[in-house]
Amino acid sequence: MRIHESLTTPDGPFVVIEEDGEVIAAGWTGDPAALAARSRLTGGPGAQGSVASADAVAAYYAGDPTAVTRVAVAAPGTAFRARVWEALRAISAGQVRTYGAVAAEVGSPGASRAVGAACGANPVALFVPCHRVTGASGALTGFAWGVDVKRALLEREAVAA
């Protein structure tokens, strides 16, 4: 069964969509239908309800950035994107990687642009921390939910941004 919940965070409204206990979409928006469309979910956001991952989001914002990495996710995507998203989940809070470093980690050196595309297509923001990836110079480059949110997340995780 698919359900969604809108949560209030210091970075703005945050919607989580779960199906069968796994997060399938998440992002800083107040519009569950728009999140479902952005995440290419057929069937929309599902019924409004309480998602199991809400406690992990609350714990993240209360100072436990590891809470969201313990949540099961089911992000639909290509095999390459799945490898990138798995690598992103392995980046510890308080650390960042460049797009090029992530490309090398997933066995595709030189594929930094493809890593950037995978980050941009990440349907489960926060749970797959694409905000921990920067440009080669360390600059905060694009983030689907806004560079201000990316900066706030990194600062919350004690990364000098």
Q: Tell me which residues are annotated as active site.
A: 130
DSSP for the chain? Answer: -EEEEEEEETTEEEEEEEETTEEEEEES-S-HHHHHHHTT-TTTT-EE---TTHHHHHHHHTT-TTGGGGS-B-----HHHHHHHHHHHTSPTT--EEHHHHHHHTT-TT-HHHHHHHHHH-SBBTTB-GGGEE-TTS-----TT-HHHHHHHHHHTT---
